[in-house]
Structure 1
Amino acid sequence: MLRPLSLTVAALALTALATEAAAQSQPFERAGPRQDWTVDVGVGAIYSRDAGGDTGGQGNVIPYIAANWRDRLYFSPFEGLGWNVVYTETFRAGVQLRPRFSPEDIEGLTLDRPDFGADAAVYAYQRLPGNIVVGGRISRDVSGVSDGTEYQASIAHQRRTPVGVLNASAYVQGGDQKLADAYYGVSSAEALTNAISAYRPDGGLQAAGTTLLLVSPVSRDWAVGGLVNYERRLGDIADSPLSRNDDSWRVGMFVSRRFGG
């Protein structure tokens, strides 16, 4: 079912279009020539199953734009505005101002869902032999949406194939009690209104997932690609009455054009 663009799904879908943005904070071996600046413009289509707590599937078309200056400063809708404070060929560490997308409404429930917000984050990633990158980030809400803290750790491998660049990654993420309660808690008033149980989750691990992403160049400036993502909710998040299905699937494809100099 094709529905209007939701911010939550857009954020998840941009995992595909953000290949180059992710490369700006993670030190994979360079896949193309070095340029002083780049701007990527594209569009993608994503189908999500169990997005934002709604067990129905939904499709969206997502526009995308990202920018990079000398691998130091960068921007994308997914990672926000970032700065590689420490930059080498095999290690990167920096800071970001990241968007925090609002969750979708859950069909059949009337809830006070968090608004769009922003997180301040610090990160560090190290490249190991075999073009494997390990690292993570810690981010904290700075917009008053949750006042919560989130952490994520990941391991990823990237390599060239006959049809393009293939990136495979696995990750775990978690957060404190404030973050969990803002997005998966149920207040007493909400419990009465919706005839569900009140719920106050604790912090800890919240999800684990894996993503396969393929990017295929079709010319010097154009590329197409696709992704498959699976995520499993964990801990108190999985036990929340707002988590109707602990498994999420996303499949997407995109096309993008690069401008640079």
Structure 2
Amino acid sequence: MKHFDEPALDPAASAQQTMLTAFLAALGAVMAIPLAIPQSASAQTAFTLPAPPFDVPMLPSPSGNWTVMVGIGGEYRPDFVGAKNDKFVPIPIFTIRRAGSIDQFRGPRDSASIALLDVGNFRAGPAFKYVASRKSDKYAELTGLGDVKAAYELGGFVEYYPVDWLRLRSELRQGIGGHTGTVADVSADVVLPLIQRLTISAGPRFTWKSTKATAPYFGVDAAQAAASGLSMYDARGGAHSVGFGSQISYRINPQWEVHAYVEYEKLLGDAADSPLVKLRGSSNQTTVGIGASYSFDFRIR
């Protein structure tokens, strides 16, 4: 997090405080709206879509009712992966699942996803994650390292509940744009109700990245070394990080939910050994966030 001895009139800090204040006010307004909604209400079918012109082999028919979860969150997280300072950024929330399936738990590290296969305690389907661009002129630590374009990670997820209080999830995604490597995330969450509608969850995380997903962010070539003052570094892929996360969520009614969370990540391997991290950043990465989501149903004929 930002150091408390920073100048009180620092423009960047003031802007972040203003953004956080505005977000908290908006979140408070969102939380207040559902109080007027009867607690016994359930998600209503908002609209009906026509059936697709064809079915995809090996997958169940998309016809039927689906539940969409959409929302907005905000989090303090490192300026860039490997940074030692933090910034506040908005975070979108989006998932789709079969209506009537077991109540969905969503972890803060989950990608946007659609559970096309939803059978009992098992779900699987496509997943998507957006990785923001990294601009070298925004942070002094990146001077001379050049920009990294935004990346779009496309892939899939599988999720399984061996018991009703334990969720196991893994994702495999392929990058397009800023990096063209492969990323794998594995997580486990113990999900326990504290009181009615109030749930706490916690568990370990692990991330693996290929060389093409690691090098653009942690490697230093000859030109970058000359411009930045860092030594040349050939960053390779492998185990990227391990960590632990915890979340507390409150379901106001069947449609609305609010949550807060903290995630800790320890960089490993070539990411942790990069001169950018060792000399100008930190291998310890902490994210603190809050959010609110709304669920509604739609039907496919």
Instruction: Give the TM interval when normalised to the shorter protein.
Output: 0.7 to 0.9
Corresponding position of 1:46: 75
Q: How far 1:204 sits from its partner (Å)?
A: 0.8
Cα distance in 2, alignment partners of residues 85 and 67 from structure 1: 11
Q: How far 1:226 sits from its partner (Å)?
A: 0.7
Letter in 2 for 1:240: S
The range that moved more, 157-166 or 229-238, is 157-166
Q: How far 1:216 sits from its partner (Å)?
A: 0.8
If the length of structure 2 is used for normalisation, what is the TM-score? 0.65
Q: Does 1:145 align with 2:173?
A: no
Deviations 1:231-259, CA, capped at 9 Å, x for gaps:
10001110001222010112222334444
Cα distance in 2, alignment partners of residues 65 and 135 from structure 1: 17
Structure 2 residues without counterparts, runs of 5 or longer? 1-12, 17-40, 45-64, 101-108
Q: How far 1:227 sits from its partner (Å)?
A: 0.6
Q: How far 1:140 sits from its partner (Å)?
A: 1.4
> Do the aligned residues in 2 keep the contact of 1:175 with 1:204 (CA within 8 Å)?
yes
> Do the aligned residues in 1 keep the contact of 2:98 with 2:118 (CA within 8 Å)?
no
Cα distance in 2, alignment partners of residues 133 and 259 from structure 1: 23
Q: Does 1:250 align with 2:287?
A: yes
Distance 1:53 1:147, change over 3 A: same
Corresponding position of 2:53: none
Structure 1 residues without counterparts, runs of 5 or longer? 5-31
1:17-96 pair list within 5 angstroms:
36-49=65-78, 51-60=80-89, 62=90, 64=92, 66=94, 68=96, 70=98, 79-80=111-112, 82-96=113-127
Cα distance in 2, alignment partners of residues 174 and 241 from structure 1: 20
Corresponding position of 1:16: none
Letter in 1 for 2:285: S
Distance 1:38 1:124, change over 3 A: closer
Distance 1:78 1:235, change over 3 A: same
Letter in 1 for 2:188: I
Match of 1:191 among 201, 206, 225: 225
> Do the aligned residues in 2 keep the contact of 1:51 with 1:104 (CA within 8 Å)?
no
Secondary structure of 1:55 counterpart = coil
RCO higher in 1 or 2 (8 Å CA, sep ≥ 6)? 2
Cα distance in 2, alignment partners of residues 177 and 56 from structure 1: 25
Corresponding position of 2:49: none
Corresponding position of 1:158: 191
Tell me the matched-pair count: 228
The structure number with the bigger radius of gyration is 2
Distance 1:50 1:146, change over 3 A: closer
What is the root-mean-square deviation in Å for CA atoms of aligned residues? 3.1
Distance 1:174 1:213, change over 3 A: same
Distance 1:50 1:215, change over 3 A: same
Higher strand share: 1
Match of 2:234 among 174, 184, 200: 200
- Taking only the aligned residue pairs, the percentage that are identical comes to 22
Cα distance in 2, alignment partners of residues 85 and 154 from structure 1: 20
Distance 1:95 1:217, change over 3 A: closer
The range that moved more, 173-182 or 83-92, is 83-92
Letter in 2 for 1:149: T
Q: Does 1:98 align with 2:135?
A: no
Deviations 1:92-132, CA, capped at 9 Å, x for gaps:
22223432333464424232232112222132222112521
Cα distance in 2, alignment partners of residues 252 and 97 from structure 1: 20
If the length of structure 1 is used for normalisation, what is the TM-score? 0.74
Cα distance in 1, alignment partners of residues 182 and 126 from structure 2: 15
Cα distance in 1, alignment partners of residues 82 and 170 from structure 2: 25
Corresponding position of 2:163: 129
